[in-house]
Structure 1
Protein backbone atom coordinates (compact mmCIF):
# COMPACT_ATOMS: atom_id res chain seq x y z
CA UNK A 1 0.00 0.00 0.00
CA UNK A 2 1.53 3.37 -0.99
CA UNK A 3 2.35 5.89 1.70
CA UNK A 4 0.10 8.93 1.68
CA UNK A 5 1.78 12.17 0.71
CA UNK A 6 1.34 15.45 2.56
CA UNK A 7 1.39 17.60 -0.59
CA UNK A 8 -1.55 19.97 -0.65
CA UNK A 9 -2.73 19.06 2.83
CA UNK A 10 -3.30 22.11 4.97
CA UNK A 11 -2.98 22.09 8.73
CA UNK A 12 -5.69 23.65 10.86
CA UNK A 13 -4.75 27.23 11.74
CA UNK A 14 -4.81 26.41 15.44
CA UNK A 15 -1.78 24.14 15.03
CA UNK A 16 0.50 27.09 14.21
CA UNK A 17 1.84 28.97 17.22
CA UNK A 18 3.85 32.17 17.20
CA UNK A 19 6.09 34.27 19.40
CA UNK A 20 6.22 38.04 18.92
CA UNK A 21 9.58 39.49 20.02
CA UNK A 22 9.43 43.30 20.02
CA UNK A 23 10.00 46.06 22.56
CA UNK A 24 7.66 48.52 20.82
CA UNK A 25 4.14 48.37 22.30
CA UNK A 26 2.45 49.43 19.05
CA UNK A 27 4.29 46.77 17.03
CA UNK A 28 3.46 44.17 19.68
CA UNK A 29 -0.22 45.06 19.46
CA UNK A 30 -0.28 45.06 15.64
CA UNK A 31 1.52 41.72 15.31
CA UNK A 32 -0.55 40.13 18.09
CA UNK A 33 -3.79 41.25 16.40
CA UNK A 34 -2.68 40.13 12.92
CA UNK A 35 -1.85 36.69 14.30
CA UNK A 36 -5.19 36.56 16.10
CA UNK A 37 -6.99 37.46 12.84
CA UNK A 38 -5.31 34.44 11.25
CA UNK A 39 -6.34 32.26 14.21
CA UNK A 40 -2.77 31.77 15.42
CA UNK A 41 -2.14 31.43 19.14
CA UNK A 42 0.71 33.70 20.13
CA UNK A 43 2.79 34.99 23.01
CA UNK A 44 4.58 38.33 23.23
CA UNK A 45 7.98 39.08 24.79
CA UNK A 46 9.84 42.40 24.87
CA UNK A 47 13.43 41.44 23.99
CA UNK A 48 15.66 38.70 22.66
CA UNK A 49 16.68 37.46 26.10
CA UNK A 50 13.02 36.77 26.93
CA UNK A 51 12.68 34.92 23.59
CA UNK A 52 15.64 32.72 24.51
CA UNK A 53 14.34 32.22 28.06
CA UNK A 54 10.84 31.18 26.94
CA UNK A 55 12.42 28.52 24.71
CA UNK A 56 14.67 27.37 27.56
CA UNK A 57 11.51 26.93 29.65
CA UNK A 58 10.32 24.36 27.11
CA UNK A 59 7.81 26.34 25.04
CA UNK A 60 7.94 25.78 21.30
CA UNK A 61 6.64 27.94 18.46
CA UNK A 62 6.28 27.38 14.71
CA UNK A 63 6.91 31.06 13.99
CA UNK A 64 8.98 33.73 15.69
CA UNK A 65 8.45 37.36 14.62
CA UNK A 66 11.77 38.93 15.60
CA UNK A 67 12.39 42.68 15.80
CA UNK A 68 15.97 43.76 15.14
CA UNK A 69 16.52 46.64 17.57
CA UNK A 70 15.66 45.86 21.19
CA UNK A 71 17.27 46.46 24.59
CA UNK A 72 18.94 43.69 26.63
CA UNK A 73 19.44 41.35 23.62
CA UNK A 74 18.76 42.50 20.07
CA UNK A 75 17.20 40.43 17.30
CA UNK A 76 20.52 39.51 15.70
CA UNK A 77 21.96 38.16 18.95
CA UNK A 78 18.70 36.39 19.83
CA UNK A 79 18.38 34.77 16.40
CA UNK A 80 21.97 33.48 16.56
CA UNK A 81 21.40 32.17 20.09
CA UNK A 82 18.13 30.42 19.16
CA UNK A 83 19.78 28.78 16.14
CA UNK A 84 22.75 27.72 18.33
CA UNK A 85 20.20 26.12 20.68
CA UNK A 86 18.86 24.08 17.77
CA UNK A 87 15.59 25.99 17.43
CA UNK A 88 14.28 25.18 13.96
CA UNK A 89 11.23 27.45 14.05
CA UNK A 90 10.65 29.83 11.17
CA UNK A 91 12.19 33.11 12.27
CA UNK A 92 10.84 36.12 10.43
CA UNK A 93 12.84 39.29 10.92
CA UNK A 94 10.61 42.33 11.18
CA UNK A 95 12.26 45.74 11.22
CA UNK A 96 11.91 49.30 10.04
CA UNK A 97 15.42 49.24 8.51
CA UNK A 98 15.50 49.34 4.72
CA UNK A 99 19.28 49.44 4.25
CA UNK A 100 20.45 46.32 2.39
CA UNK A 101 23.54 46.06 4.63
CA UNK A 102 21.41 46.10 7.79
CA UNK A 103 18.94 43.57 6.32
CA UNK A 104 21.77 41.28 5.19
CA UNK A 105 23.37 41.27 8.65
CA UNK A 106 20.01 40.29 10.19
CA UNK A 107 19.35 37.58 7.57
CA UNK A 108 22.83 36.11 8.08
CA UNK A 109 22.09 35.72 11.79
CA UNK A 110 19.73 32.88 10.84
CA UNK A 111 16.46 34.38 9.61
CA UNK A 112 14.20 32.45 7.26
CA UNK A 113 12.58 35.61 5.90
CA UNK A 114 12.76 39.39 6.40
CA UNK A 115 9.91 41.90 6.18
CA UNK A 116 9.94 45.64 6.73
CA UNK A 117 7.48 47.09 9.20
CA UNK A 118 4.59 47.47 9.14
CA UNK A 119 3.70 43.82 8.85
CA UNK A 120 0.47 43.18 6.94
CA UNK A 121 -1.93 40.25 6.84
CA UNK A 122 -0.66 39.41 3.33
CA UNK A 123 3.01 39.35 4.42
CA UNK A 124 2.17 37.29 7.50
CA UNK A 125 -0.03 34.91 5.53
CA UNK A 126 2.78 34.18 3.06
CA UNK A 127 5.07 33.21 5.97
CA UNK A 128 2.36 31.08 7.64
CA UNK A 129 1.53 29.32 4.36
CA UNK A 130 5.21 28.37 3.98
CA UNK A 131 5.16 26.90 7.49
CA UNK A 132 2.03 24.88 6.68
CA UNK A 133 3.52 23.67 3.39
CA UNK A 134 6.54 22.31 5.28
CA UNK A 135 4.40 20.54 7.90
Structure 2
Protein backbone atom coordinates (compact mmCIF):
# COMPACT_ATOMS: atom_id res chain seq x y z
CA UNK A 1 0.00 0.00 0.00
CA UNK A 2 1.44 3.37 -1.00
CA UNK A 3 1.62 5.96 1.73
CA UNK A 4 0.01 9.37 1.37
CA UNK A 5 3.40 11.02 1.74
CA UNK A 6 5.53 10.05 -1.22
CA UNK A 7 9.23 10.74 -1.34
CA UNK A 8 10.82 12.67 1.47
CA UNK A 9 9.01 14.52 4.22
CA UNK A 10 7.94 18.06 3.47
CA UNK A 11 10.56 20.46 4.81
CA UNK A 12 9.08 23.46 6.55
CA UNK A 13 10.82 26.53 7.95
CA UNK A 14 9.06 28.51 10.67
CA UNK A 15 10.27 32.10 11.00
CA UNK A 16 8.78 33.41 14.22
CA UNK A 17 10.14 35.37 17.19
CA UNK A 18 7.25 34.71 19.60
CA UNK A 19 7.98 31.39 21.29
CA UNK A 20 4.38 30.33 21.95
CA UNK A 21 3.29 31.04 18.35
CA UNK A 22 6.33 29.13 17.14
CA UNK A 23 5.59 26.09 19.31
CA UNK A 24 1.93 25.95 18.20
CA UNK A 25 2.87 26.04 14.51
CA UNK A 26 5.67 23.49 14.99
CA UNK A 27 3.29 21.08 16.75
CA UNK A 28 0.77 21.34 13.91
CA UNK A 29 3.49 20.83 11.28
CA UNK A 30 4.88 17.81 13.10
CA UNK A 31 1.37 16.36 13.37
CA UNK A 32 1.24 16.66 9.57
CA UNK A 33 4.57 14.80 9.17
CA UNK A 34 6.74 17.78 8.30
CA UNK A 35 10.44 18.05 8.98
CA UNK A 36 10.71 21.43 10.70
CA UNK A 37 13.40 24.05 11.18
CA UNK A 38 13.06 27.29 13.16
CA UNK A 39 14.50 30.74 12.53
CA UNK A 40 13.83 33.47 15.09
CA UNK A 41 13.83 36.36 12.64
CA UNK A 42 14.02 37.14 8.93
CA UNK A 43 17.80 37.44 8.96
CA UNK A 44 18.21 33.90 10.34
CA UNK A 45 15.89 32.65 7.59
CA UNK A 46 17.89 34.42 4.87
CA UNK A 47 21.12 33.03 6.36
CA UNK A 48 19.74 29.47 6.09
CA UNK A 49 19.07 30.02 2.38
CA UNK A 50 22.55 31.54 1.97
CA UNK A 51 24.00 28.36 3.51
CA UNK A 52 22.24 26.40 0.77
CA UNK A 53 19.48 24.91 2.93
CA UNK A 54 16.30 24.14 1.03
CA UNK A 55 12.70 24.08 2.19
CA UNK A 56 9.39 23.23 0.54
CA UNK A 57 7.42 25.80 2.49
CA UNK A 58 8.29 28.74 4.75
CA UNK A 59 6.01 30.43 7.26
CA UNK A 60 6.97 34.01 8.09
CA UNK A 61 5.73 36.10 10.97
CA UNK A 62 5.44 39.77 10.02
CA UNK A 63 7.07 41.81 12.77
CA UNK A 64 10.38 40.46 14.03
CA UNK A 65 13.64 41.97 15.25
CA UNK A 66 16.52 42.48 12.75
CA UNK A 67 14.46 41.70 9.65
CA UNK A 68 10.69 41.50 9.17
CA UNK A 69 8.88 38.69 7.38
CA UNK A 70 8.16 40.72 4.23
CA UNK A 71 11.80 41.90 4.06
CA UNK A 72 12.99 38.29 4.31
CA UNK A 73 10.55 37.16 1.59
CA UNK A 74 11.84 39.86 -0.77
CA UNK A 75 15.45 38.95 -0.05
CA UNK A 76 14.99 35.19 -0.49
CA UNK A 77 13.07 35.73 -3.74
CA UNK A 78 15.85 37.99 -5.04
CA UNK A 79 18.41 35.28 -4.20
CA UNK A 80 16.58 32.88 -6.49
CA UNK A 81 14.27 31.18 -4.00
CA UNK A 82 11.44 30.85 -6.48
CA UNK A 83 10.43 27.22 -5.95
CA UNK A 84 9.75 27.51 -2.25
CA UNK A 85 6.20 28.33 -1.16
CA UNK A 86 6.28 31.38 1.10
CA UNK A 87 3.44 32.04 3.50
CA UNK A 88 2.99 35.21 5.52
CA UNK A 89 1.32 34.67 8.88
CA UNK A 90 0.20 37.60 10.98
CA UNK A 91 -2.48 38.89 13.30
CA UNK A 92 -1.71 42.36 11.92
CA UNK A 93 -4.45 43.82 9.73
CA UNK A 94 -1.97 45.27 7.23
CA UNK A 95 -0.03 42.03 7.06
CA UNK A 96 -1.56 40.63 3.91
CA UNK A 97 -0.71 43.66 1.77
CA UNK A 98 2.86 43.77 3.07
CA UNK A 99 3.47 40.07 2.36
CA UNK A 100 1.84 39.98 -1.07
CA UNK A 101 3.78 43.09 -2.09
CA UNK A 102 6.99 41.36 -0.93
CA UNK A 103 6.35 38.32 -3.13
CA UNK A 104 4.79 35.82 -0.73
CA UNK A 105 2.59 33.13 -2.26
CA UNK A 106 -0.14 33.52 0.27
CA UNK A 107 -1.16 35.10 3.54
CA UNK A 108 -2.87 33.43 6.50
CA UNK A 109 -4.18 35.34 9.51
CA UNK A 110 -3.19 34.18 12.99
CA UNK A 111 -4.18 31.95 14.63
CA UNK A 112 -3.74 29.43 11.83
CA UNK A 113 -6.10 26.45 11.73
CA UNK A 114 -4.85 22.90 11.29
CA UNK A 115 -7.16 22.38 8.27
CA UNK A 116 -5.72 25.47 6.56
CA UNK A 117 -2.22 24.20 7.17
CA UNK A 118 -3.09 20.71 5.97
CA UNK A 119 -4.56 21.90 2.66
CA UNK A 120 -1.52 24.15 2.07
CA UNK A 121 0.82 21.22 2.65
CA UNK A 122 -1.19 18.93 0.35
CA UNK A 123 -0.75 21.52 -2.39
CA UNK A 124 3.01 21.65 -1.79
CA UNK A 125 3.29 17.85 -1.73
CA UNK A 126 1.38 17.36 -4.97
CA UNK A 127 3.45 20.07 -6.69
CA UNK A 128 6.62 18.35 -5.41
CA UNK A 129 5.46 14.96 -6.71
CA UNK A 130 4.69 16.41 -10.13
CA UNK A 131 8.16 17.87 -10.48
CA UNK A 132 9.90 14.56 -9.67
- TM-score normalised to structure 1 length: 0.86
Q: Unaligned stretches of 5+ in structure 1?
A: 1-9
Compared CA separation, residues 13 and 37, structure 1 to 2 (3 A): farther
- Counterparts of 1:28 and 1:50, CA distance in 2: 14
Q: Kindly name which structure, 1 or 2, has the bigger radius of gyration based on alpha carbons.
A: 1
- TM-fit CA distance, 1:126: 1.5
Q: Which runs of 4+ in 1 moved over 3 A?
A: none
Structure 2: give runs of 5+ residues left out of the alignment.
none
Q: CA deviation at 1:12?
A: 2.7
- Deviation at residue 108 of structure 1 after TM alignment: 1.4
> Shift of the alpha carbon at 1:105?
2.2
Alignment root-mean-square deviation, CA: 1.7
Structure 1 contact 13–39 (Cα < 8 Å) conserved:
no
* C-alpha deviation, 1:133, in angstroms: 2.3
The counterpart of 1:56, out of the listed 37, 50, 56, is 50
What's the TM-score, normalizing by structure 2? 0.88
Total equivalences in the alignment: 125
> Contact 1:14/1:39 (CA < 8 Å) preserved in 2?
no
